[in-house]
Chains A and B, each alone.
Chain A
Amino acid sequence: MAARRWLARCVAAALAAAVRCNAGEPALGAQSQDALRSAGPQASQVLDLWLLTLGICTAVFAAILVAFVWALWRAPRASAGTPADTTGLTQVEHRPRRVVIVALGASTVLLFVLLVASVSTDRSLAQLVLRDAVHIEVTAHQWWWSARYDNEEAAKTFTVANELHIPVGRPVIMTLRSDDVIHSLWVPNLAGKKDLIPGRTATLTLRADRPGVYRGQCAEFCGAQHAWMAFLVHAEPAAQYEAWVARQREPAATPVAERALRGRQVFLQSTCVMCHAIGGSGAGGQRGPDLTHLAGRTTLAAGALANDAAHLAAWITDPSAFKPGTNMPGHVLPPDDLQALVAYLGTLE
């Protein structure tokens, strides 16, 4: 284990320049979606294994290439008329045979090393300590994510959509289900992916050891808007996380401003309530993302749009302009009603 880590570090140092040379890369902290920059033990163990494998494979590849190029370079030239050498058909060629057997033996040993490394990494991944874990039930839909934070006390559970917050340093156990087709939950900075298959329940465990915002994306083709089915994982220190949890548990406050009040009326007496829920308002639709704390999210539409008034108004009016094929229908509201609605949704911290 230690030797593997040492070798991995050497290879990492050698490859650091190549890996980081891409211009325009976001800093780790602002929506990173990158398997090469691990922020937790699952992703780091995979990265260690990756570096070890990369090292071995590069060495083998180089050896084969060198042998190949050398063979070409040193061989005499011939033409179509050069008589063929058929001695190999009748006599055993001892030297090439020895070399091939040795090379084959070395390859087999290296393959075995990779097998052992793979299985042992598998085992370490499965041995993540799960004491004091946060339990989240994730359900994937076309093309958004819902997540219910479980608790032994039923009153303390709450549901969010598309943006998760997790505490740094505590394990997270995600139970994965799908509402329609096969999706795959993948947040590369934290862990490998897991498919969400209708009719099956899967589990993904991970832990974030560094605070930051990690972007994940659906990684199994799931239809028209597979490309825009992202989610964000905000890993925060415990205190911040608990504050967020406390806020999520509260229902939406009744708005005070007149325009926001009117916006709530528009919400409750339009199509919105058929699909969306806002805790405390009486709206209990289950078909679309829970909007109780919509204003606390940084994005709309599963990572497709920034969460601000202009985008929200445009999204409500015509979702298919941004995510063609999305299940949310368009709503042509009179401008006053639309502004009121957006104002109301903006109060849902």
Chain B
Amino acid sequence: MNTTSEVDLTARNQVPPSEADRQALEATWRDPAGLVGWFSAINHKTIGVRFIVTAFGFFVAGGLLAAVMRLQLARPQNTLVGPDLYNQLFTMHGTTMMFLFAVPVMQAMATYLVPLMVGARSIAFPRMNAFAYWLYLFGGLMLYIAFALNIGPDAGWFTYVPLAGPDFSPGKRVDFWAQLITFTEFSGLLEAVIVITTVFKLRAVGMTLNRIPLFVWAMLVTAFMVMFAMPAVMLTSTALILDRLVGTHFFNPAEGGDALLWQHLFWFFGHPEVYFIFLPGLGFMSAIIPTFVRRPIFGYSAMVLALIATAFLSFGLWVHHMFATNLPELGKGFFTAMSLMIAIPSAVQIFCWIATLWTGRIHLKTPLLFVLAFFFILVLGGMTGLMLAMVPLDLQVHDTYFVVAHLHYVLIGGAVFPLLGAIYYWYPKITGRLMNETMGRWNFWLFFIGFNTAFFPMHLLGMKGMPRRVYTYPAGMGWDTMNLVATVGAVTIAVSMLLFVINVWRSLRHGQVAGDNPWGAGTLEWATSSPPPAANFDALPVVHGREPLWEAAPEPTQVRGMATGQREVLVTTVVDARPDHRSVFPDSSIWPFISAVATTVLFVGSIFTPWAVVWASVPVAIALTVWFWPRRGETEREMLLEKSP
């Protein structure tokens, strides 16, 4: 925040915005320079890019772990990796992909895109957004440092008790896992609050609820799901830490606890979690398809209702992870019905997209290629999901490679392919340059072929008897060839990811310069420059339809009179997005970073002693207090805006 006397603290923008407006806004909204400035950054685009890059860093790490696993399994009774390391590998792979990549990357994309797509200058609670990012980063670092020190968790990403309990997992390995959950779920919950508030209160004037882009709807619905599901896993991981550290008996049957309690609490979160990953993927699809098919998505209302229905239904499925336990059979049948039913809203989405493709005109570029792969991969994964929903079938293929195949088909087909398409799609907006189209096609085809080569044989492997989570298998079971083929596919995937990383890196300097709207898209983020200025828009937009850049708009189209010398935002009403009031957002601050460091010390300390919760909460309290303490100078500056006409 520029506090020199040259800045006119009461200046307001004109329509159309002048050069003076532009410069004032840039000076007002940009993050400070220097090392301290780097740690104090709170601009949602800065945090968003860091968040996306960090998530992809974890993606690469998790992928490397999987590559080692596949190398071990390429031959029967291989000796590349022993059981202890292998158990850590698959635990770290699952934990990384689910908690450190798949969910955070979606929240990261939302952090960057949602304010731009709804026409806001900033995300809601920008400092809390920064805090959530730092917490996520520190949690992930903690886990990988633990792994490097041979304290990586080794009881699976789902850590079933009693194996993960104090008796059968001595040491601190599982405690690090449980505390990672605390980090990432805390971060995720904060992000959910931020997304909901942004979408409900910071939309552009005129962007009524039924004009919100479908991607924003997907992130909004996901955020609500996060708020209801994540507390379950935080509760259960805390119960596990208490059992291990303090000696409680939540999961000890002899003292009145129940081993199955863990599974219920974990999967009550765990099933919606895959929808935290899947729904944003659907959002990407609905953002990319219209642009490359030159028409809005067919059936907007049905699509929104399908998202909401999926969210509701996803809370009623969790027992399908527990079909092999001795729960009552009739109850399991209910969960079969629900698990089959959730295919219906997904089918709505797929049919509406196909209708959109059918009635559109195709502009085939790399983002669309990745999106089209969804129709093959995710749909196949959905079919195997139907099979798994049926109890008798599940009892044969549960905990075998069939499930490994299914989960990768739905998660990679439903989320990762659309995510890569989204990166190719929004990269020009974020960086100002297009990614290389040729390399993009190589990336796509290698990934598509490699993926199917790696995972399709696993369906058969599971049916032919190979269980999951085994560090090796005997020769002569009929599994050798399929495992080798799967490993070849995994290596192909690795090569394709390498191409992706190279493409991202090289295009930063050598990519073709993109303009504001290289794809000719219709949503608001393309109405500003690439990359966007610090304040997102020179003048806040006013919206009259679902595709503001495609429809001829009546006047007015821009808001006049927002302050340019201070971080003023326009808060609108929830349903109709009428202007409600103006609010001044905070300056950049290092206190979110410091608070995250203090919280990390608290969380990591409490792995070793319960007293850490007491003593380490003191620095946390201090940091938070300083963070929120009102500053006289800020209040006086804000008052100037009140007094000026």
Is the Cβ of A35 less than 8 Å from the Cβ of B396? Answer: yes
Is the Cβ of A115 less than 8 Å from the Cβ of B481? Answer: no
Query: What is the 8 Å Cβ interface bit string for chain A, positions 251-285, against chain B (1 contact, 0 not)?
Result: 00000000000000000000000000000000000
Is A248 an interface residue when CB atoms closer than 8 A count as contact?
Answer: no
Q: Which residues of A have CB within 8 Å of B325?
A: 195, 197, 200, 202
The verdict on A221 contacting B160 (CB below 8 Å), with A61-B379, A89-B551, A111-B341 known, is yes
Is A210 an interface residue when CB atoms closer than 8 A count as contact?
Answer: no
One of B324, B336, B546 near A193 (C-beta < 8 A) = B324
Is B231 an interface residue when CB atoms closer than 8 A count as contact?
Answer: no
Is the Cβ of A22 less than 8 Å from the Cβ of B460? Answer: yes
Is A97 an interface residue when CB atoms closer than 8 A count as contact?
Answer: yes
Q: Which residues of B have CB within 8 Å of A307?
A: none
A101: nearest residue on chain B (CB-CB)? B351
A220: nearest residue on chain B (CB-CB)? B399
Is A171 an interface residue when CB atoms closer than 8 A count as contact?
Answer: no
Is the Cβ of B83 less than 8 Å from the Cβ of A324? Answer: yes
Is the Cβ of B478 less than 8 Å from the Cβ of A71? Answer: no
Is B547 an interface residue when CB atoms closer than 8 A count as contact?
Answer: yes
CA distance A25 to B465 in the complex (A): 12
Is the Cβ of B392 less than 8 Å from the Cβ of A122? Answer: yes
One of B87, B324, B361, B547 near A220 (C-beta < 8 A) = B324
CA distance A61 to B298 in the complex (A): 21
Is the Cβ of A80 less than 8 Å from the Cβ of B362? Answer: no
Query: What is the 8 Å Cβ interface bit string for chain A, positions 92-129, against chain B (1 contact, 0 not)?
Result: 01001101100110011001001101110110011000
| Number of interchain pairs (Cβ within 8 Å) | 291
Give min CB distance, B202 to chain A, whole Å. Answer: 24
B348: nearest residue on chain A (CB-CB)? A104
Is the Cβ of A77 less than 8 Å from the Cβ of B83? Answer: no
Is A50 an interface residue when CB atoms closer than 8 A count as contact?
Answer: yes
One of A67, A84, A100, A201 near B522 (C-beta < 8 A) = A84
Is A83 an interface residue when CB atoms closer than 8 A count as contact?
Answer: yes
The verdict on A180 contacting B162 (CB below 8 Å), with A34-B465, A197-B259 known, is yes
Is B499 an interface residue when CB atoms closer than 8 A count as contact?
Answer: no
Is the Cβ of B329 less than 8 Å from the Cβ of A122? Answer: yes
Is the Cβ of B260 less than 8 Å from the Cβ of A200? Answer: yes
Give min CB distance, A9 to chain B, whole Å. Answer: 18
Is the Cβ of B363 less than 8 Å from the Cβ of A104? Answer: no
Q: Which residues of B have CB within 8 Å of A182?
A: 160, 162-163, 259
Is B495 an interface residue when CB atoms closer than 8 A count as contact?
Answer: no
A188: nearest residue on chain B (CB-CB)? B465
| Interface size of A as a range | 35 or more
Q: Which residues of B have CB within 8 Å of A83?
A: 294
Q: Which residues of A have CB within 8 Å of B546?
A: 89
CA distance A322 to B295 in the complex (A): 63
Is A211 an interface residue when CB atoms closer than 8 A count as contact?
Answer: no
Is the Cβ of B395 less than 8 Å from the Cβ of A46? Answer: yes
Interface set, chain A 17-53, CB cutoff 8 A to B? 19, 22-26, 33-36, 43, 45-46, 49-50, 53
Interface set, chain A 183-203, CB cutoff 8 A to B? 184, 186, 188, 191-195, 197-203
Interface centre among B354, B355, B376, B395 (most CB of A within 10 A): B395
The verdict on A35 contacting B362 (CB below 8 Å), with A53-B387, A201-B326, A220-B160 known, is no
A200: nearest residue on chain B (CB-CB)? B326
Is the Cβ of A34 less than 8 Å from the Cβ of B478? Answer: yes
A303: nearest residue on chain B (CB-CB)? B474
Is the Cβ of B352 less than 8 Å from the Cβ of A100? Answer: yes
Is the Cβ of A82 less than 8 Å from the Cβ of B363? Answer: yes
B390: nearest residue on chain A (CB-CB)? A118
Interface set, chain B 452-468, CB cutoff 8 A to A? 460, 463-465, 467-468
Give min CB distance, A58 to chain B, whole Å. Answer: 8
Q: Which residues of B have CB within 8 Å of A227?
A: 83, 469-473
CA distance A201 to B470 in the complex (A): 25
CA distance A121 to B329 in the complex (A): 12
CA distance A226 to B86 in the complex (A): 11
Give min CB distance, A20 to chain B, whole Å. Answer: 10
One of B324, B384, B389 near A184 (C-beta < 8 A) = B324
Is A85 an interface residue when CB atoms closer than 8 A count as contact?
Answer: yes
Q: Which residues of A have CB within 8 Å of B372?
A: 68, 72
Q: Which residues of B have CB within 8 Å of A223?
A: 87, 163, 168
CA distance A201 to B325 in the complex (A): 10
Give min CB distance, A47 to chain B, whole Å. Answer: 8
B395: nearest residue on chain A (CB-CB)? A192
Is A81 an interface residue when CB atoms closer than 8 A count as contact?
Answer: yes
B461: nearest residue on chain A (CB-CB)? A22
Give min CB distance, A313 to chain B, whole Å. Answer: 20
Is the Cβ of A53 less than 8 Å from the Cβ of B294? Answer: no
Q: Which residues of A have CB within 8 Å of B347?
A: 103-104, 107
Q: Can you name 18 extra interface pairs (CB under 8 A) apart from A100-B302, A107-B343, A111-B340?
A: A23-B481, A26-B477, A36-B464, A53-B390, A58-B383, A71-B357, A75-B357, A79-B520, A84-B520, A86-B295, A100-B299, A180-B162, A191-B395, A193-B398, A217-B465, A223-B87, A226-B469, A226-B470
Per CB-CB distance, the 3 closest pairs between chain A and chain B, nearest first, are A199-B253, A192-B395, A227-B470
